Amino acid sequence: MKITLHIWRQRNASDKGKMVRYDVADVNHEMSFLEMLDVLNEDLIGKGEEPVAFDHDCREGICGMCGCMVNGQAHGPVPGTTLCQLHMRHFKDGDVLYLEPWRAAAFPVVKDLVVDRSAFDRIIQAGGYISVATGSAPDGNSVLIPKEDCERAMDAAACIGCGACVAMCPNAAAALFTGAKISHLGLLPQGQPEREQRAIAMVAQANAELFGSCTNMGECEAVCPKEIKLEVIARMNRDFILASLTGR
């Protein structure tokens, strides 16, 4: 099948950038979306043109590297799916697709569809850790954790930090990401020593990175490839307010 692409091309952060049209012929419906872009780039390189820059790594929906807006939807039209897991069978012959990078002040464009998401790294560095005693690892069964807490912590820990939640949020908020990182440690006994400090530090860092404020629109949950629930934002807010009131 034939697909028409309108791709955002931007040489660097200071370049204005623009949409450029490309026609990709002979697209196999079994191709992944990134494989389709690979085919386009091979054609561009063969013509002596600059290939389209896009983030990718594992291509298995694990690393969180890939991602762009496809016709205004983060990661494309299929829910619970990263861009690398999106296949061309979800499109039809003659479709016209518009590809843009994540749009957020905290995610400056590096080139084409590639954005700098190091703001997420700095949020994690602010409090995404736990204090542990040095020495050998403790026995896995030495600390009993209720099954419900384990499951909720694991659900929050599934966040891969792709940035789709920020890109889709009208306010470019990082509340779902920050809430997930705060929740998955705060739900476990090992995360209790820094619980209050963690909430204060990570929320403060998110604000410093110029992410917007959460207004409970729910767009983040709708496009999250790991289907992180909004409840992590409520938990983050609760921990932050309690820590602020107690002065910890």
Over residues 27-52, the pLDDT tens digits come to 999 999 999 999 999 999 999 999 99
Task: Indicate the pTM of the whole model.
Answer: 0.93
Amino acid identity of 224?
Answer: C
Residue 153 has pLDDT above 80, yes or no: yes
Residue 42 maps to which CATH number?
A: 3.10.20.30
* Residue where a domain stops, chosen among 61, 95, 110: 110
Residue 170 in contact with residue 72, Cβ under 8 Å?
Answer: no
As a whole number of angstroms, the distance between CA 110 and CA 101 comes to: 10
Q: Give the list of residues 6+ apart from residue 100 with CB closer than 8 angstroms, or none.
A: 8, 68, 69, 113
Element at 79 (helix H, strand E) = none
State which amino acid sits at residue 6.
Answer: H
Q: Mean pLDDT over residues 137-143, rounded? A: 75
Give percent of the chain above pLDDT 70.
Answer: 98
- Tell me which amino acid residue 185 is: L
Domain containing residue 57: 3-110
**Which CATH number belongs to the domain containing residue 234 in this structure?**
1.10.1060.10
- Beta bridge partners, 9, equal 18
Question: Strands, DSSP E only, in 31-84?
Answer: 69-70, 73-74
Q: Which of 117, 86, 82, 83 is nearest to 225 (CA)?
A: 82
Q: Residue 216 is inside which H or E element, if any? A: none
Domain final position from 78, 110, 142: 110
Separation of alpha carbons 57 and 41, rounded Å = 16
- Based on the domain organization, do 13 and 92 belong to the same domain? yes
